[in-house]
Structure 1
Amino acid sequence: MFQKGLKGIVAVQTSISSVEGEKGELRYRGILVSEVIEGKSFEQAAYFLWHGHYASKEELASLTERLNAYRQLSDYLMAIARTLPKETSLMDGIRTLISAYQHAEFKELAIQQQAIALTAALPVMTALLYRLNTGQEFVAPRSDLGHTANYLWMINGQVPTHAQTEALETYLNLTMEHGMNASTFASRVTISTESDLSAAIVSALGTMKGPLHGGAPSGVLELLDEIQSPEKIKPVVERKLARGEKIMGFGHRVYRTEDPRSILLREKCRQLQQDGPWLNLAVIAENEITQLLNERKPGRALHTNVEFYAAAIMRSIQMPPELFTPTFSIARIVGWTAHAIEQQQDNVIFRPQSEYIGN
C-alpha cells in the first residue's frame, strides 16, 4: 500500500520515546517528559535517554567528565573550520566538521562512547563556526560549566545567568527526542547500512537543515518582533488573519491537543518572565492569539507548539536566529545517537519499495 511520505507507516519498533498526538503526550522511555526532565540537567536527561534509567551520582560524574574531555577539538578540526568560506552556513559547516570527526582514537571507541563524544563536540563546533563567521575570536570551552552554560559561554564570551541557562536547558531537554521525525529516520537509515555514527549524524543534520523540519522558530520570532508589545497583539494578528496568513507557532502535525513541550516551556517562561520581557510577551500573546483563533477558526483547536515558546526563550537569551537550527540539533543529537545505538542492536537495512508510475 502506497502512503505518500510514509505517513502512518510503522517502520521501527523503539523503546526510546513515544508521541501520542491525540492525548498530547510525549514520553521518554515510557515516562512522561515532564517527569523525566523535572529538576534535571542536560547531562541527566541525556543519560536517561541513552540508558533508560537515571544516572547514579557516580555515573553522572563519569558522564560529566567524559563530556568535558570531548569538548576539546583537535588542531585539524580547528584548521578546517578556519578554512571554510565565510558564507558557509552554520549547518553546512557543522556537517563538514562532524564528517571530519573520524580520528583514530574516535574510531576505536564503542558506539556509546562515540555518542558522548559527538554530543560534547557539537556545541563547540557550533560556537566556533558562529564566532568565526561573525569575525570574533573563538572562546575556548570551560570545564567548570555544565553542558548548557558552556554553550552559552562559548557563543557570547560571557558566563550566562542562572535564568538564561535554566531557560535554554529546559528547551534542550524537551527537544532531545520526538519519535520518528525526519532527521531521526535519516540517522537510522544511514546506520542500518552498517555505516558509522558520524555518517548517521551527518545525515540527520542534512535533514534538520530543511526549513520544514528545523527552521520553524524563526517565523515565530518574526511574529513577536512585529507585535513588540501587548497592546499590538490583537491588531497584528487580526491583520494577518484577514490576509489569510498562517499564525506561526500555532498548530502541530502530530498533536491534536496542546503540545506537551509547549506547556512546559510556557511554565518555565512564567517562572522566569521577570528576567526577560520577551517571556512575558509570549505568555500574554498566547492567550490573546488563542482566543482570536477560536473566534475565527472555530473547531480547529489551534494551540501553541514547541516553536512558539522556543522563539521567546531564544530571544530572551539573545540567541541570534542563525543559531536556532544548530541549537535544536545540539539537543536532538541525543535522540539521534540513541536511535542509532538501538538500530545497531537489532539491525535490518531499510529497503522500502517504490511504485513505478511512468509510461
Structure 2
Amino acid sequence: METSTEGGAAAPAGTEPAETTTRAGSVAESAVPAAGATTPGTTPAPVIPAQAPAPAAAPAASRRAPARPTSLSPSRAGDFMQCPLLYRFRVIDRLPEKPSPAATRGTLVHAVLERLFDAPAAERTAPRARSLVPGQWDRLLKNRPELAELFADDEDGSRLAGWLEEAGQLVERWFALEDPTRLEPVEREMFVQTRLESGLTLRGIIDRVDVAPTGEVRIVDYKTGKAPRPEYAEGALFQMKFYALVIWRLKKVVPRRLQLVYLGSGDVVTYDPVIEDLQGVERKLLALWEAIRTATETGDWRPRPTKLCGWCDHQEFCPEFDGTPPPYPLPLALPFGAAGSEEDTQGRMGPQ
C-alpha cells in the first residue's frame, strides 16, 4: 500500500502506468503458480518479517521538522521522478497536506481487506467484509482525528453514507478477482527494509505476501483506482519491482509473481520478474538516490510541470504557480569549484 495515485497529488483516471492486464481467474488463488523464477543455486524459502519492525508514527511536531533524506521508499522515489520539488516539500520541508476522500477511502479499503483474513477461511465472505467497513472507519478516525474534516459540512450525513457505500462496493468487487477462502497470506501489511551494498536503505510496506507450498513467493498490492492504460506499462509495476528487489536482497529469493489488484476497474495485473529486472531496478534507484543527494546538498529542487500539478497541495509554494518555496532548511554545500576556505566548506556541508 506504499504508493497510490489517490494520495497526495492524485492522478486523473487513466494516467497511471500499466502492465499486462488480465481478468479474474487468470491466477490460481490457493498458491502461486508452480513454475518459478528464483535465484540460481538457492532453495525457495517462505518470506518472514524483516529484521526491523514498522516504525511507529512520530509526533506531529517531529513529522514537520526538516530532515535530510536517509532512505528511499516506492512513494518517495515516485515523488522525485514526478517532480523533484514535490519530493522536497514532502521529505525535507514536510509540508502538511490535506486528507482527500479518495486517498482515505483507499486506506479504509486496505484496512478492511487486511482484517478480513483474521476470520477463518469459510467466514471470509463479501457480506462479512462489507460489515467491517463502518468499524474500520471508526478505528481510522480514532487514530487520525483530522480525517473528520472530510465530512465537516455534511450536516445530514448523506455524503459520508455515500462514501462508505463506495468503499463497500470496492471491497465487494475484490471477491470477483480473488477468492479469500483459498488464500492464507504469510504476511499482511508487511514492513520490509534492506540496506544495499552502496549504503542506500530501501523500505516499504507490502499489502500481502503469499507463499506456495513449494516456497514460491507472490507479492500482492491492492489499488482502489482503475487499471492504467498500456502506454504506462513500465511505471505501473515500479513499486512492485521495488518490493521484489528488497525481498531478493533480504531473502535471496526472486518472487515468482507480482500482482496488482485494481478494485476500481476489476482488473488484475501480473508480472513475473527475473533477476535482470531487479538488477535494472537497483541501478535505477542508485542513480535516483545520487540525484536526490545532489539536490539535497545544492538546494536545487526544480519543479517538473505535468498534468498532475492540478492535484498538488503545494501550489502556493511552487514557482510554476507564481509561488515561492519556503527558505531551504538544510545546510548547503559550496558549488563544485567555488572558492572558499576549508573551514567555510566544512561549516556549510551537511552530513555525507
TM-score (norm 2): 0.24
Pick the structure with greater CA Rg: 2
In terms of fraction of residues, the more helix-rich structure is 1
- Normalising by structure 1, report the TM-score: 0.24
